[in-house]
Structure 1
Amino acid sequence: MPRTQRNDNFIDKSFTVMADIILKILPTNQKAKEAFAYYRDGMSAQADGEYAEALENYLEALKLEEDPNDRSYILYNIGLIHTSNGEQDKAMEYYLEALELNPRLPQALNNIAVIYHYRGDRAKEGGQDEEAEEMYQKAAEYWKRAIRIAPNNYIEAQNWLKTTGRSTMDVYF
């Protein structure tokens, strides 16, 4: 039984019913509808912390989905799962692949920046100042790109960029 048929709360059931109605009315092919169903089930599983189940659903959706923009969101969500599992290298691969399909995905840019910043902190703690600076510089570049796309988001990153002297821009758009 698909995950969306197991939802117990009213909001999840309502969303599922609405999504199913919209899917039936939309002039799209069966393959795209199946891809969306897998994606929706993946999101539901991910929200419940069932990462293995979510990953299975996303991978099935990825096999079926042809639209590059939709594929970018599937890849991004796969990256989130790997990030949650502490698999930064794998997450980075999926975020970068998502960005290849959709360069205007600020959340992927932000998550890459977060990984580089984290790596910079670890390098600094280990006394590797040059490597730390390199990681911080990469984080800064990805955050600048994310902020240019979504200037009202990532306020902490904007503050970090300013306080560390990595950016003097007050307005990113």
Structure 2
Amino acid sequence: MKKLLTLVLVVAITSLSFAQKNEIKAIEKALKNSNFADAKSATTEAEALIGSMDDKSKAKFYLLKAKALYANGNGTDANVDEAITSLDNLKALESKMGKLKYTQEANEMTTGMVNTFLTKANDAFTNKNYKVAAKGFEKVYRMSPKDTLYLYYAASSAVTEPDYNTALDYYLQLKNMGYSGAQMNYYATNVETGEEENFANKSSRDFSVKAKLHKDPRNEKSESKTAEIVKNIALIYVSQGDNEKALGAMADARAENPDDIGLLLSEANVYLKMGNKEKFRSLMEEATEKDPTNAELQYNLGVLAAEGGNSEAAIKYYEKALAINPNYVDAYNNLAVVILNGEAEIVEQMNNLGTSSADNKKYDELKEKRTQVYQQAIPYLEKALELKSTNVDAARTLMNIYSALGETDKFKAMRAKIEEIETSANGN
């Protein structure tokens, strides 16, 4: 009886081995004929036997399963995700075995998948299909985890969609891995075209310079994306009504990088989104102390002061912005707006006057005061229009001022200018 039991056991094991080989052969046959539906079906049947496969058979199965699910790029998102997992399982198994029989083919397949999905993701992003782009970039990252830039692209695409839940997931992954995105870029000028080009690495750039195909090499480190990532995490939390998490995210980042002006501005932006303008103002002033030559900071403080009805402070900040950057168009525009805000009160007083001689005298005084307001605003509007010839708002305001001042020639010239801007904008 004992010998009979042993014989039965051997027969059972042999039958199981044949079954495994037959299922794997069925997958191979279906793949050879590009019959991915049958290949997937055979994969499902073979997977039921994976527990009894030896490591060599498992490795081959993982490769075939990935091919069946990927279906030459035509698999569903879920199938492709499973294919990526199968390739990862193969590489991990053969690494453990110390025999890389199928890993090379798996790597080649991964490279092909990366190129396919990267092309699709780039095309989707270009066509503003950000949801598809986010999924594509995320798959590229999963297939090539060392290329964390693609997870950043996935997050940026998702937040642009906007798909805030997905974006938050990606941004948190980036934050937790300490991703900054800062890297060295290698530039040189093309001798033939005269245009500066960015090289993939230093050795390629140096080789081209040595071959005299390029000249004037230079290195430039890209800015860290840490502030942007933390800011977006915080703003997503704000949009979800979770202000505590938003401020917590900012506090953690600021604690690690107390002198990072980008993070300081991001925190200010979070408070502004929360409606806390006083805290926003305080942080912006702190930022100007850290970076006194930043025109944009002074400009933003001017905007905040103007919104708060403090015209004197707004003018002061706008003038500081212009002292730093004399070509700051928006600062000229806003300076004129703040100055012209005083016109409404003057006009109201004029309209409330009667017809007595005293009222007529007062009317003339107010009229002169209004003229002074106009004269004070005109240089800023003219400069804004000089710096940006398509600035239709500045042109229209100037036209109205010239009309009120009775300067007919200037009024007509500005009206013609507006027609020219609008015709050009309409493509006529």
Q: Specify if TM > 0.5.
A: yes
User: Pick from 77, 99, 112: which aligns with 2:335?
Assistant: 112
Aligned letter for 1:161? L
How far residue 89 of structure 1 moved from its aligned partner, in angstroms, is 0.6
Provide the C-alpha distance between the structure 1 equivalents of 2:380 and 2:166, rounded to a whole number of angstroms. Answer: 36
Aligned to 1:160: 397
- Aligned equivalent of 2:265: 39
1:65 aligned onto 2:291: yes
Of 292, 300, 304, 1:77 maps to 300
Given the two structures, how large is their TM-score scaled by the length of structure 1? 0.74
Alpha-carbon displacement from aligned partner over 1:38-76 (angstroms, at most 9, x marks no partner): 12222333344321121121112112125x2xx110011
Change in CA separation of 1:81 and 1:12 when aligned onto 2, cut-off 3 Å = farther
Q: What CA distance in whole angstroms lies between the structure 2 residues aligned with 1:58 and 1:11?
A: 31
The share of aligned pairs that are identical, in percent, is 19
Instruction: Return the alpha-carbon distance in structure 2 between the equivalents of residues 57 and 12 of structure 1.
Output: 27
Counterpart Cα distance in 1 of 2:166 and 2:326: 32
**Residues 58 and 74 in structure 1, CA contact (< 8 A), matched pair in contact too:** yes
**Pair 1:158–1:97, CA change in 2 (3 A):** same
Q: Is the Cα–Cα contact under 8 Å of residues 83 and 91 in structure 1 kept in the other structure?
A: yes
**1:121 Cα offset (Å):** 3.0
Instruction: In structure 2, list runs of 5 or more residues that go unmatched.
Output: 1-163, 184-220, 224-256, 351-365, 422-428
Aligned to 1:124: 347
Specify every segment of 5 or more residues in structure 1 that has no aligned partner in the other structure, as ranges: 1-8
Equivalent residue number for residue 106 of structure 2 = none
Cα deviation 1:87-119 (Å, max 9, x = unaligned): 111111111111100111111111110111121
CA distance in 1, matches of 2:401, 2:314: 26
TM-score norm. by structure 2 comes to: 0.32
Structure 1 contact 42–54 (Cα < 8 Å) conserved:
yes
Check the 8 A contact 2:272/2:280 in 1, yes or no.
yes
- What's the CA shift for 1:126? 2.4
Q: What is the letter of the counterpart of residue 157 of structure 1?
A: A
Match of 1:21 in 2: 180
Q: Is the 8 A contact 2:384 2:394 kept in 1?
A: no
- 8 Å contact from structure 1 (residues 58, 78) kept in 2: yes
Number of residues paired by the alignment? Answer: 157
* Structure 1 residues 164 and 56, CA gap change in structure 2 (3 angstroms): closer
CA RMSD of aligned residues (A): 3.3
Q: Which moved more, 1:140-149 or 1:162-171?
A: 162-171
- Does the 8 Å contact 2:265/2:283 carry over to 1? yes
Counterpart of 1:138? Answer: 376
Contact 1:36–1:61 (8 Å) recurs in 2: no
Answering whether residue 314 of structure 2 is matched by residue 91 of structure 1, we say yes
Larger Rg: 2
Q: Is the 8 A contact 2:378 2:398 kept in 1?
A: yes
1:36 Cα offset (Å): 2.0
Measured in 2, the distance between the counterparts of 1:11 and 1:86 equals 40
Q: More relative contact order in 1 or in 2 (CA 8 Å, sep 6+)?
A: 1
Pick the aligned partner of 1:150 from 381, 385, 388.
388
Partner Cα distance (2:395, 2:166) in 1? 35
Which of the two has greater strand per residue? 2
Contact conserved, 1:122 with 1:132, CA < 8 A, in 2?
A: no
Q: Do the aligned residues in 2 keep the contact of 1:143 with 1:157 (CA within 8 Å)?
A: yes
Report the AA paired with residue 144 of structure 1: E
Q: Comparing 121-130 with 87-96, which one deviates more in the overlay? A: 121-130
1:21 counterpart SS class: coil
Q: Which amino acid aligns with 2:374?
A: Y
Shift of 1:148: 1.3
CA contact (8 A) 2:339 2:373 kept: yes
- Work out the CA distance in 2 between the residues paired with 1:32 and 1:107: 30
